[in-house]
């Protein structure tokens, strides 16, 4: 059973946010705009519940995740419907890029969290420290705040929430005001799976609710959204020394080398630029094609774009749905107009499609673009594929790295070794050779960027590390022995230490032997303490 708007509204009676279907403009429902007091209270409740959850046997915690996985698998069609209704994306993408990703992430957690949380022995190389035994333990932060955007309204907050819960944290989640119902479905499924409701609380609301969450009793924040909001979040977090992960925007380059398969690569470019109506942080945002195949590549991209069906996401035949709202569409229109004014060539598209609705924009290909154009510098959250040619590998790498962003990139070549070598030279959190975007669906792969694309990682081992703080536990094997470095300072102490340093680090064997002897002799002359 889905969470209905009425269920949510009955929880709080404050100002409401009306959520619209971006394709049809119909009302999906309304949710409360939580105020700062309500959000502070939610974080307090989470805080009170978290210690018991962290102390629970891990198999019991993981049982909740397993049950959640069963419920999600059984209800995939209904949940996909909720995602499509509020985000507009085709059902095919709600299933493949949202639900499948989450089911696989749960499996990853079930398989890996037991080993991840097992205390790890830390061997000591220094001979004197061999008298101690060290372990690295991973402790949950406590309450993890999560702030999410609208473009992947289910998979983004779900993977982060499940990772936080599996490692013993409680979560307070503030979804995007445009797509709150997907997060409410996540909450419902987890509560049905047996999770104490205080351990995951979804606080719906606008930007102010996110700002209030930052000031509440959370111990860590995972923020996903735009660079502009990310900067504000980072400043507020710095003021209270709150650790944060920032998953921000991208301007992902695609480099097509001359030996690439043009048929495969053009399909990848069209899918990579237009899936989710181009509103993917990892989407192909800049395409650089070797001059020898440039015209052929453009022609095939144009032909394949002509085959796409644009329409309402809930129609199974739809390839490209609407954009999220008109404001976003206007930004894309402005960027396309700027490119055309500066000399870009329109291959196809370039216009809004008002007969379908106010948020539809035609999949657009621009050729002969350059880096003076906004379309090559600013994030384009819309269905636009800007393409330009290059002559040499050096030029392609320089163009790819000429960006304030560094989220992901792709390289296309039949020579996998060449692709891998080139990947090392591109500054991005992820570089895929011969695929795009799919890294988000690889549960083992860390997700995150460099430069303005953010700080920290979600997903995989690195995503798990973000949910815990490392505690080093050390146990001395000789509890009845005073330590050499304690008081009893004086010339003998210094002799002992310098002798020990020579023993360990002097390159000359004679000096090392002398150091050992000096250290042993001076030990006997030390002042007792």
The residues assigned a catalytic role are 247, 281
- 249 contributes a contact to ligand NAD by CB under 6 A: yes
Q: What whole-number distance in Å separates Cα of residue 83 and Cα of residue 185?
A: 9
Q: Residue 146 or 503: which CB sits closer to ligand NAD? A: 146
DSSP labels, 105-153: HHHHHHHHHHHHHS-EEE---SGGGGGEEEEEEEEE-SEEEEE--SSST
CB of 433 to ligand NAD, least distance (A): 21
Q: Which parts of 427-446 interact with ligand NAD (CB under 6 A)?
A: none
- 174 contributes a contact to ligand NAD by CB under 6 A: yes
Q: Residue 359 or 519: which CB sits closer to ligand NAD? A: 359
* Phi, psi angles (nearest 5°) of residue 460: 65, -165
CB of 492 to ligand NAD, least distance (A): 59
Pseudo-torsion of CA 437, 172, 324, 442, nearest 10°? 10
CB of 14 to ligand NAD, least distance (A): 16
Using alpha carbons only, give the angle 401, 402, 404 rounded to the nearest 5 degrees: 95
- 248 contributes a contact to ligand NAD by CB under 6 A: yes
Which of 75, 94, 151, 364 is close enough to bind ligand NAD by CB under 6 A? 151
Buried b / exposed e across 219-252, counting CB within 10 Å, b at 16+? Answer: bbbbbbbebebbebbbebbeeeebebbbbbbbbb
Query: Within 13 Å and on the Cβ side, how many CA atoms surround 520?
Result: 7
- 326 contributes a contact to ligand NAD by CB under 6 A: no
- 506 contributes a contact to ligand NAD by CB under 6 A: no
Closest CA to 270 of 312, 303, 314: 303
Pseudo-torsion of CA 42, 44, 46, 48, nearest 10°? -150
Binding pattern to ligand NAD, positions 352-371, x when CB under 6 A?
--------------------
Q: What whole-number distance in Å separates Cα of residue 480 and Cα of residue 222?
A: 46
Binding pattern to ligand NAD, positions 266-285, x when CB under 6 A?
---------------x----
Among 56-64, 162-170, 202-210, 342-350, the segment contacting ligand NAD (CB under 6 A): 202-210
Where would I find the H helices in 260-359? 262-274, 294-306, 326-341
Which of 177, 285, 319, 502 is close enough to bind ligand NAD by CB under 6 A? 177
Which of 186, 407, 426, 432 is close enough to bind ligand NAD by CB under 6 A? 407
Closest CA to 38 of 181, 209, 219: 209
CB of 253 to ligand NAD, least distance (A): 15
Residue nearest to ligand NAD (CB): 210
CA–CA distances in Å: residue 392 to residues 290, 396, 415: 8, 6, 16
Buried b / exposed e across 258-293, counting CB within 10 Å, b at 16+? Answer: eebebeebbebbbbbbbbbbbbbbbbbbbbbbbeeb
Among 173-181, 349-357, 385-393, 418-426, the segment contacting ligand NAD (CB under 6 A): 173-181
CB of 319 to ligand NAD, least distance (A): 21
Q: How many CB atoms lie within 10 A of CB 314?
A: 18
CB of 151 to ligand NAD, least distance (A): 5
Q: Residue 61 or 220: which CB sits closer to ligand NAD? A: 220
- 103 contributes a contact to ligand NAD by CB under 6 A: no
Distance between alpha carbon 124 and the CA centroid of its chain, in Å? Answer: 34
CB of 147 to ligand NAD, least distance (A): 5
Q: Which parts of 372-391 interact with ligand NAD (CB under 6 A)?
A: 379, 381
Q: Residue 48 or 238: which CB sits closer to ligand NAD? A: 238
Helix (H) or strand (E) holding 42: helix 36-55
- 163 contributes a contact to ligand NAD by CB under 6 A: no
Closest CA to 305 of 279, 270, 345: 270
Which of 81, 207, 358, 441 is close enough to bind ligand NAD by CB under 6 A? 207
Q: Which parts of 216-245 interact with ligand NAD (CB under 6 A)?
A: 224-226, 229, 232-233
* Length, in residues, of the chain: 529
In the chain, what is the straight-line distance between the N-terminal and C-terminal CA atoms, in Å? 71
Helix (H) or strand (E) holding 57: none
Q: Residue 313 or 406: which CB sits closer to ligand NAD? A: 406
Among 38-46, 141-149, 157-165, 520-528, the segment contacting ligand NAD (CB under 6 A): 141-149
What residues make contact with ligand NAD under the rule CB under 6 A? 147-152, 156, 174, 176-177, 206-207, 210-211, 214, 224-226, 229, 232-233, 247-250, 281, 379, 381, 407, 447, 454
């Amino acid at each position: 059973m889905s969470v209905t708007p009425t269920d949510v509204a009955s929880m709080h009676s404050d100002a409401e946010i009306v959520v619209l279907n971006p394709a049809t403009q119909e009302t999906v429902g309304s949710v409360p705009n939580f105020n700062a007091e309500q959000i502070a209270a939610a974080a307090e409740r989470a805080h009170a519940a978290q210690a018991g959850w962290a102390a629970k046997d891990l198999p019991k915690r993981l049982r909740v995740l397993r049950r959640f996985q069963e419920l999600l698998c059984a209800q995939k069609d209904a949940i996909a419907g909720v995602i499509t209704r509020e985000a507009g994306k085709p059902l095919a993408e709600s299933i493949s890029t949202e639900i499948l990703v989450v089911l696989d992430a749960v499996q990853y957690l079930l398989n890996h969290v037991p080993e991840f949380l097992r205390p790890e022995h830390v061997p000591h190389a220094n001979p004197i420290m061999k008298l101690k035994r060290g372990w690295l333990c991973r402790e949950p932060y406590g309450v993890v705040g999560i702030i999410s955007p609208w473009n992947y309204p289910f998979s983004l907050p779900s993977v982060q929430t499940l990772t936080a819960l599996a490692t013993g944290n409680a979560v307070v989640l503030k979804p995007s005001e445009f797509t709150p119902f997907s997060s409410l479905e996540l909450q419902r499924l987890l509560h049905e799976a047996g999770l104490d409701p205080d351990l995951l609380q979804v606080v719906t609301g606008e930007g102010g609710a996110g700002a209030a969450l930052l000031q509440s009793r959370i111990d860590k924040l995972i923020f996903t959204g735009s660079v502009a909001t990310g900067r504000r979040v980072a400043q507020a977090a710095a003021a209270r020394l709150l650790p944060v992960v920032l998953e921000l925007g991208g301007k992902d380059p695609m480099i097509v080398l001359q030996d690439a398969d043009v048929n495969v690569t053009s399909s990848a470019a069209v899918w990579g630029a237009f899936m989710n109506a181009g509103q993917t942080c990892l989407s192909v945002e800049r395409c650089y094609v070797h001059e020898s195949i440039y015209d052929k590549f453009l022609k095939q991209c144009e032909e394949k774009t002509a085959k796409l069906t644009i329409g309402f996401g809930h129609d199974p035949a739809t390839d490209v749905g609407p954009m999220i709202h008109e404001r976003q569409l206007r930004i894309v229109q402005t960027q396309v107009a700027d490119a055309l004014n500066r000399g870009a060539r329109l291959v196809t598209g370039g216009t809004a499609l008002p007969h379908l609705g106010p948020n539809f924009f035609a999949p657009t290909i621009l050729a002969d673009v350059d880096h003076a154009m906004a379309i090559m510098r600013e994030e384009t959250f819309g269905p636009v594929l800007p393409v330009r040619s290059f002559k040499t590998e050096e030029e392609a790498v320089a163009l790819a790295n000429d960006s304030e962003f560094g989220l992901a990139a792709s390289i296309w070549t039949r020579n996998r070794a060449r692709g891998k070598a080139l990947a090392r030279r591109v500054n991005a959190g992820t570089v895929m050779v011969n695929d795009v975007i799919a890294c988000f669906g690889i549960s083992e792969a860390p997700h995150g960027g460099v430069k303005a694309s953010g700080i920290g990682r979600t997903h995989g081992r690195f995503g798990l590390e973000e949910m815990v703080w490392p505690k080093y536990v050390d146990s001395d094997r000789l509890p009845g022995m005073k330590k050499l470095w304690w008081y009893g300072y004086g010339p003998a102490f210094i002799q002992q230490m310098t002798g020990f340093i020579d023993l360990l680090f002097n390159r000359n064997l004679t000096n090392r032997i002398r150091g050992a002897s000096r250290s042993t002799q001076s030990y006997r002359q030390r002042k007792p303490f």
